[in-house]
Amino acid sequence: MAAMPLPDRDRIAMSMPLLPRSAFVSSTSFSSFSSLASFSSTSSSSFSDPAIPSPSDAAAVESASPAPMSPSSSFKALAVLRDHNGSVSSLSLCGEFLLSASTGADIVAWQQPDLRRFARFGHGEGSVKALAAAGGRVFSAHQDGRVRVWRVSRRSENAFKLVASLPTTRDYLGKIFRHGSYDDVQTRRNNHRRRRLWIEHADSISCLAVHDGVVYSGSWDKTLKAWRISDLRCLESIRAHDDAINAVAVDAAGDGGAGIIYSASADGSVKAWERGKAAHFLQGILVSRDGVSWNVYAAGSDGHVVGWERIGRGSRWSLTCDVKAHDMAVLCLCVAGDLLCTGSADKTIGLWRRAGGELARVGVIRGHEGPVKCIQASWCRVSNGCMVYSGGLDKSIRVWWVRPMAGSQTSRNSSSKRRT
């Protein structure tokens, strides 16, 4: 694998191991928020640059062709990882590992710093739609409507061990004989109505987020569910939207540190939820657009990226930017420091600098042979740059080193005075 040469101070800074952190999904880029991340925590800790793989790993790790330099950012292709039979559907950072999941129903753990394949797990558990990591556990969301829980332990030969499937049997037994425990749920894939326990998802789970000891799962059955990590019980099921939920996000810097949970749906809306003493309640609706299925941040099928700023601590948000980021749908994004990365169906990765309420384009990365389905980043404060990991429908994971520079052009919002 070709590695990008780094100054000594950067190399020392990037040799620090990551510590496991809670995984959040970012829905918006609010200037009042302290930090945001996408599909997993965007860590300020760093990785060392990938080393040259051994011959046994040559089939999985390939050297990447050098990427062109942008005048407003420098980026370098470091590696191409291939070990999935299906399209790469999700990425997550978990301690020293980069986790990748695919529609081929498997999860691969790549060990930093050399990005060698460490383990493969999740066989036969159904197509994996999303990943999240927190507290020595990995949570995987599946097309069969279940959340699997994996224990991470380096002391065992089975480093990633399946310990539970949500809802758990104990949770089932506590509710199955209660008449009020059932709901009629309409599925998206076949438009059928099903009678299910309220703790069950009736359709594919599309997204996960973790915050304050709770895992949130969003599904095509239009519900958002909260699971307590300590005992893996389902605490609440929220009928959040009128269509499939595509993304869920957490802003940890909410009122009193309680956090705001954001859900984005194919019904064209992004909703903000706050956790109360007994249940979550709707804090506000950020946007509603006809015909647009908003994904995280909010990024949409029309190629736009939208950001808001919360007004004080109330239930009102101000639209601060609305940028045409790609010619085709934006499928994923992540935030690392002041850098926003967007992945698109046009096979490119957009690089944006967050400045106040505006977005400035700093570069475009090309390399994937198919749409970019998932993206993750880890910021290095010392070297003022970050590692970017992208997964695509071409079944590959690509690793990039990105260092934004000054002098980029700002994309201003033409409707910054809109209120929702």
The number of domains in the chain is: 1
Q: Tell me the two tokens of residue 98.
A: 């980069």
Q: How many CB atoms lie within 10 A of CB 325?
A: 25
Predicted confidence at residue 7, as pLDDT, reads: 38
Cα–chain-centroid distance for residue 198?
25
- When pLDDT is cut at 50, 70 and 90, the band that residue 107 belongs to is very high
* 385: amino acid identity, one letter: G
Lowest pLDDT segment from 43-47, 75-79, 89-93, 382-386: 43-47
Asked whether residue 418 is assigned to any structural domain, the reply reads: no
Write down the pLDDT at residue 122: 83
Confidence bin at 190 (pLDDT 50/70/90)? low
pLDDT at 381 over 80: no
At 418, list the tokens: 């809109």
Lowest mean pLDDT among 112-121, 291-300, 306-315: 291-300
Q: CB of 27 within 8 A of CB of 245?
A: no
Cβ(269)–Cβ(287) below 8 Å: yes
Q: What is the 3-state secondary structure (H, E, C) of 228-245?
A: ECCCCCEEEEEECCCCCE
Say if residue 416's pLDDT is above 70: no
Distance, in Å, from the CA atom of 402 to the CA atom of 415, rounded to the nearest integer, reads 30
Cross-strand bridge partners of residue 388: 377, 400
What does the mean pLDDT of the chain come to?
76
Tell me: pLDDT of 124 over 90.
no
Judge whether 24 lies within some domain. yes
Q: Which residue has the higher pLDDT, 280 or 24?
A: 280
Look at 59 and 301; give whichever has higher pLDDT: 301
Residue 129 burial by Cβ neighbours in a 10 Å radius (0-12, 13-18, 19+): buried
Q: Which helix (H) or strand (E) holds 195?
A: strand 193-197
pLDDT digits (tens, 9 = 90+) for 192-224: 667 788 999 999 999 999 999 999 999 999 999
Which tokens belong to 87? 């399209």
Mean pLDDT confidence for 159-186: 83
| Amino acid, res. 216 | Y
Report pLDDT for 260.
87
CATH code where residue 18 lies? 2.130.10.10
What range defines the domain where residue 52 resides? 8-411
Long-range contacts, 324-330 (Cβ 8 Å, 24+): 324/411, 325/299, 325/350, 325/352, 326/350, 327/303, 328/303, 328/371, 329/300, 329/301, 329/302, 329/303, 330/295, 330/299, 330/300, 330/301, 330/303, 330/304, 330/305
Q: Please list, in sequence order, all residues whose beta carbon lies within 8 angstroms of the beta carbon of residue 111, skipping any fewer than 6 positions away.
A: 96, 97, 117, 118
Confirm whether 273 is domain-assigned: yes
298 band by pLDDT with thresholds 50, 70 and 90: confident
Q: Give the integer Cα–Cα distance in Å for 20 and 13.
A: 18
> pLDDT higher for 396 or 124?
396
Please check the confidence at residue 54 and state whether its pLDDT lies above 50: no
Residue 9 has pLDDT above 90, yes or no: no
Write the DSSP symbol of residue 232: -
Mean pLDDT of 49-53: 32
Mean pLDDT of 392-402: 96
Express as a percent the part of the chain with pLDDT over 90. 44
- Per-residue model confidence (pLDDT) at position 180: 66
Residue 295 in this model has a pLDDT that exceeds 70: no
Is 419 part of a structural domain of the chain? no
In this structure, is residue 305 part of a structural domain? yes
SS3 172: helix
3-state class (DSSP) for residue 378: strand
Which of 183-187, 386-390, 409-413 comes out lowest in average pLDDT?
Answer: 409-413
- Split at pLDDT 50, 70, 90, the class of 51 is very low
**Any residues with CB less than 8 A from the CB of 190 and at least 6 apart, and which?**
none
51 or 401, greater pLDDT? 401
Q: What is the mean pLDDT of residues 254-259?
A: 58
> Is position 1 within any domain?
no
What would the pLDDT profile of 59-70 be if each residue is shown by its tens digit?
355 655 544 444
255 pLDDT higher than 60:
no
- Among the ranges given (32-46, 282-296, 326-340, 364-378), the one the predictor scored with the smallest mean pLDDT: 32-46
The verdict on residue 416 lying in a domain is no
- The pTM assigned to this predicted structure is 0.78
Lowest mean pLDDT of 69-73, 144-148, 329-333, 343-347, name the range: 69-73
pLDDT at residue 26 in the model: 35
DSSP at 170: H
The Cα–Cα gap between 120 and 124 comes to 12
Between 361 and 251, the higher pLDDT residue: 361
Q: Looking at the domain assignment, is residue 322 inside a domain?
A: yes
Distance CA 384, CA 237 (A): 41
